[in-house]
Structure 1
Amino acid sequence: MALSRSVKYQIRDNPNSDFCCVPQCAMSGKLNSCVSFHHFPKDETLRKVWIRNVRRENLVIKRTTTVCSRHFIDTDVIPGGRRRLKEGAVPVLFAWNNYSLLPARPSVWERTQRPEDELPEEMDVELLLQCHDYDGKPEPSALDMACEKIEAQQLVIEELRKRLNEVTLKQSFGLERFSASDDDIRFYTRFASYQHFQAFWRQIEPATRRIVRVGTRAPTLTTTAPDKAADPPRRPNRCLPLIDELFLFLVYLSLGLKEKDLGDRFNIHQSTVSRIIKTWVNFLYTLLGAIGVWMSPEAIRATMPSVFGKYSDTQVIIDCTEMRCQTPSSLLLQSELFSQYKSHTTLKGMIGVSPHGAVTFVSSLFSGSVSDKELFRQSGIIPLLDKDMAVMVDKGFRVDELVPCKVYRPPFLSKKSQLSHEEVLVTQDIARLRIHVERAIRRIKENKLFDTIIPLTIAGSINQLFAVACLLTNYQNKPLVKAWAKES
């Protein structure tokens, strides 16, 4: 049936470098010549069968890689001076099957000794089929188990993909990272919630198609030949989506971060951050400034809170605010910007709010040494007032002769030792109503850019930044008093 396994292999006088690659087989060219060594076939299909049978899946086949004749049945080896294998021969005899292909309980006919030439030719194929059932099909239960295993692996892949997306989102500093937390949205943008921010974005998104980016070159007028059309202007490449650019600008306004810090957070260059900030401050200044925030007397009366009973004709509540700025090196500029009230160089602006709390007027910024009366005169609010209106101001605004309307202002003590009972009540009533303009200014100064010392490097765009911050409060916040929302 096969070469006797009881042969004692002796060391040859002239050994060669042949060896068997089958695991647990120690045959090599150092032993006697009763064993021959055979190279792997060139046919890919047959070679894969050899590799699978010798149980060496990761086997690297070289010119010296061989299988000894011990692993082939005797009829597969053609005797002669140089032993060769029959075409299609496959190694099937190994140590793990005791070099035998016979079943555990052979039949009587198979146990009867016969000469080798009486064996039928079909025996080789039959033995091969016993060892390797190539036509066999897996049982249905095995297919079911394989399908279940594939489904389980797909679920694991989906879970890993979800975790990867979460990790990637956490590493990127953008709006979507904080979309699940209204507290984070409030901290970074001053908007009350993510839905609130999205509502504002939907209002301005159509206008972003016409946004003019700072730093882009204007198209030059060139004379071209009639037969050659001019190339269309190239659109600048964006490092961030438009909504994330707006988010970056709001973070800059809300937290007052340096451009270098923002560049590290958003993974872009510092110069790109500077261009984005300048682009969006000019865009929002133009867009929000084009919307008329000054309200008509009819609209004011329609939204008038009931607490303004005796002052129901109030059109606007006026107050000034000061923001500390970096001290310039020029002594002349220092004297102009120095504020006695803040004991520091400041920029001063005037805010006007309607009785129900909306910002309806924003002046330009002036030097800190200017008085409230002079700022009121130069702010441009006087042409907006008429005789049927009234303004509510603080004691520093002695503007009675400047305006054509009533002025509600707390009374002065003058030369009197104390205020009368009626004057005290008037002072309390006006102070109780004027406090709302202070709350509106506090909302504006929640933007840390104005709550710290403003650097002179942004002096060229500080007016736009201040106006945008004031106008954004009308979109970012809820009513100053919850009860007013029910009244309106």
Structure 2
Amino acid sequence: MVHTCVVAGCRNRRTPGTALSFYRFPRDPERKQRWIAAVNREGWVPNDGSRLCSTHFISGKQVKNPRSPDYVPSVFTAAPLSPEMKEPGALEILDKQEARVEAANALLFLQGQGRPVVEVQGQERHGEGEDKEKEQQAIVEESASSSLSTDEDDDNSVSESKKGKFAQTSDAPINFDDMLKALKKENQALRESVDKMSLSENSLRNDAEKVKFYTGLPNYFVLETVMWLLAPHMDGMKNVKLSKFQQLLLTLMRLRLDLRNQDLAYRFGVKIGTVTRTVHRMVNIMSSTLVPTAVFWPSRAELRKNLPAALRSSHPDCAVIIDCFTVPFEEPVSRGAQQQQRVLPVSQEAGTTYSLLKYLIGVAPQGVVTFVSRGVLGNVSDKSLAEGCGFLCKLLPGDVVLASRDLDIGESVAARGALFRIAGGYQGEAYGRPDSSPPADTSSEMVSVQRHVERVISMVKQRYAMLTGPVESPFTTASERTSNLSTFDKIVQVACALNNLCISAAPLE
């Protein structure tokens, strides 16, 4: 295609054998507007076929460095014709020589490579003009090629920006098939690396240690089973940011590692309010779905069938081993005007004072939690807690209730036709006070019973650090108007249910 220079008065055109270069107008809007202003054609707008010849640049070519004088065409006075059309005169040669000397001086000044080139003297114009012109032309070409980008948009060559990373200096052909395979392999490696670092199903599927660290569950199969139980009840939850699996994982991480909401918000890329709502909703779902499935009172037949050898001879009718434990919380719990008037027990840790919540827990001889009460203020007696939490209703006539210390519930248990036995004295976990010393006839089997509940409680607290407290105040208020259970009461029950799903329960030895 033949192109003609768009400059008014310039008749240069691309013909076979011409040494001129023809350039498109730049794509950059600002630079393009400067070119249009330099052409100075009133009301004229370039199109895709508009070209500007190289004679309108000081160095004879365009330069894409904004600091270069050839970033915008500037040679328009008496634009010379191409050599094929007209032989330039002596005055035109001298004008072009001086222009190139000025360009060389400007380039050297910008680059700081040396002193400016000495200006051509008038007396040298005829004798030494041609030698100076060659010298300055070499300086200009060397400077422009060494430090200034000259990515020409000429139709005769492919732009270097279009070649990109596939450009080669040799004439060897590019094997695009091998390059495509290498890119696919690199892409796959990057995907695997991102999946491994992320908290997704794929990153946990084959990593039991990671599952255990973040959720407290022994392996991915148990986590998947929990997800299968909860998924049908999560359909009504509208959360476009987190998937069902992410909502469960976020909640388990909150219970397991006791991470703050801000930390979880950063990890999952959501707002703090989303984390708070997700945890409360998931705890409610697990409390109504998972707890009845995993925390239940076994039948007498099942208890006797799997009764550990330590109790078969001494207490074959043992139904449960009970104890109380406490958890500190930040602010007093609102349980009614009568309870608010009581003096709250406190726990002092590192100079900070906390109130206490007390829970009654029942553990089967096989090592699973079979009963968890709701939390009450720590100054409530063990007897009041046991009689008011619904524990006594689980007992059948003839059942034996074991405890490691005197909970003062013997008469209440006897009223149900059951028998309350103290396995032996030790420092109770709830208060840290020494009880009466063990009787002389305490056997090794009874020593195992003494520490059985303590091991289970410690296991649950170690598995879910949130149970160690102090509990934040939003979790200690009643979660529903129709329920007297706070969100933290449900969290304690959920933690016990999840502990029962683990294979690392603590059976009697």
> Is 1:316–1:354's contact at 8 Å kept on the other side of the alignment?
yes
Structure 1 counterpart of 2:306, from 287, 303, 307: 303
Query: 1:186: Cα distance to partner?
Result: 1.1
Q: Which stretch shows the higher mean deviation, 346-355 or 370-379? A: 370-379
**Which residue number in structure 1 is paired with residue 330 of structure 2?**
326
Report Cα offsets for 1:170-227 as digits up to 9, x if no partner. Answer: 5644443344432221121000122331233234334444xx54xxxxxxxxxxxxxx
Amino acid at match of 1:271: G
**Which amino acid in the other structure matches residue 452 of structure 2?**
H
Letter of the aligned partner of 1:457 in structure 2? P
Residues 290/194 of structure 1: CA separation in 2 closer, same or farther (3 Å cut): closer
Q: Give 1:408's match in structure 2, choosing from 421, 432, 450.
A: 421
Distance 1:161 1:268, change over 3 A: same
1:312 aligns with 2:316: yes
Residue aligning to 1:389: 399
Q: Deviations over 1:338-395 (max 9, x none)?
A: 1589985210001111110111101010111112222111121111112221111122
User: Between the two proteins, what is the percent identity of the paired residues?
Assistant: 24
Instruction: Give the counterpart of 1:432 among 424, 448, 466.
Output: 448
Residue aligning to 1:459:
476
Unmatched 5+ residue regions in structure 1?
Answer: 1-14, 29-36, 38-59, 67-81, 83-144, 214-235
| 8 Å Cα contact 1:373/1:396 also seen in 2 | no
Q: Does the Cα contact within 8 Å between 1:288 and 1:471 map onto a contact in 2? A: yes
Q: Distance in 2 between matches of 1:456 and 1:27?
A: 81
In 1, distance between residues paired with 2:219 and 2:471? 28
Aligned twin of 1:228 = none
Given residue 455 of structure 1, which amino acid in structure 2 is its aligned partner?
E
Q: Deviations over 1:56-98 (max 9, x none)?
A: xxxx9644569xxxxxxxxxxxxxxx9xxxxxxxxxxxxxxxx
SS across alignment from 1:361: strand
CA contact (8 A) 1:337 1:347 kept: no
Q: How has the CA–CA distance of structure 1 residues 311 and 255 changed in structure 2, closer, same or farther, with 3 Å as cutoff? A: same
1:159 to 165, 169, 185: 185
Report the alpha carbon displacement of residue 159 of structure 1 after superposing the two structures with TM: 1.3
1:16-55 paired onto structure 2 within 5 Å? 18=12, 26=19
Post-superposition Cα deviations, 1:398-439, rounded to whole Å, max 9, x if no partner, equal 2221112122204679xxxx979xx33326533312322112
Q: Which stretches in structure 2 are left out of the alignment for 5+ residues? A: 1-8, 23-47, 55-84, 86-171, 427-435, 478-486
Contact kept, 8 Å, 1:317 with 1:391, in 2: the verdict is yes
State the distance in 2 between where 1:27 and 1:472 align.
81
Partners of 1:410 and 1:306 lie apart in 2 by 16
State yes or no: 1:293 paired with 2:300: no
Change (3 A) 1:287 1:373: same
Return closer, same or farther for 1:151/1:289 CA change in 2, 3 Å cut-off.
same
Tell me the secondary structure at the aligned position of residue 256 of structure 2: helix
Tell me which amino acid in the other structure corresponds to 2:386.
Answer: F
What is the correspondence of 1:136-151 to structure 2 with a 5 Å cutoff? 149-151=175-177
Q: Which residue of 2 aligns with 1:259?
A: 261
1:466 is displaced (CA, Å) by: 1.4
Q: Quick check: 1:337 aligned with 2:344? A: yes
Instruction: Output the CA distance in 1 between the equivalents of 2:286 and 2:260.
Output: 20
- 2:474 is paired with a residue whose SS is helix
Contact (CA 8 Å) 1:327, 1:334: kept in 2 or not?
A: no
SS in 2 for 1:293: coil
AA aligned to 2:472 is P
Q: Counterparts of 1:46-445 in structure 2 under 5 Å?
A: 62-64=50-52, 149-169=175-195, 172-209=198-235, 212-213=236-237, 236-291=238-293, 293-309=296-312, 310-328=314-332, 333=340, 336-339=343-346, 344-403=354-413, 404-410=417-423, 423-426=439-442, 428-445=444-461
Change (3 A) 1:197 1:21: farther
CA offsets, 1:123-160, max 9 Å, x none? xxxxxxxxxxxxxxxxxxxxxx98x9344223212212
More deviation, 344-353/165-174: 165-174
Partner of residue 106, structure 2: none
Q: What TM-score, normalized by structure 2, do the two folds share?
A: 0.58
The answer to whether the Cα contact below 8 Å between 1:175 and 1:247 also exists between their aligned partners in 2 is no
- Aligned-pair distance for 1:284? 0.6
CA distance, structure 1, for counterparts of residue 218 and residue 175 of structure 2: 47
Structure 1 distance, partners of 2:392, 2:10, is 112
Question: Contact 1:409/1:430 (CA < 8 Å) preserved in 2?
Answer: no
CA distance in 2, matches of 1:452, 1:399: 28
Partner SS, residue 386 of structure 2:
helix
Report the Cα distance in structure 1 between the residues aligned to 2:466 and 2:456, rounded to whole angstroms. 16
Cα pair 2:357 2:376 within 8 Å, conserved: yes
Residue deviations 1:235-293, cap 9 Å, x none? Answer: x3421110110000000111111112111110011111111111111111111243361
List aligned pairs for 1:463-474, cutoff 5 A: 463-474=489-500
- 8 Å CA contact 1:347–1:366 kept in 2: the answer is yes
Alignment length (residue pairs): 334
User: Aligned partners of 1:253, 1:412: CA distance in 2, in Å?
Assistant: 32
Greater mean alpha carbon deviation, residues 335-344 or residues 443-452: 335-344
Give TM-score scaled by structure 1 length: 0.60
Equivalent-residue separation in structure 1 for 2:195 and 2:296 (angstroms): 38
Q: CA-atom RMSD, angstroms? A: 3.8
Output one character per residue of 1:426-484: Cα deviation in whole Å (capped at 9) or x when no partner. Answer: 26533312322112111221212121311212112111111111111111342325x98
CA distance in 1, matches of 2:437, 2:333: 46
Larger Rg, first or second structure (1 or 2):
1
Is the 2:402–2:422 Cα contact (8 Å) retained in structure 1?
yes
Counterpart of 2:401 in structure 1: which amino acid? V
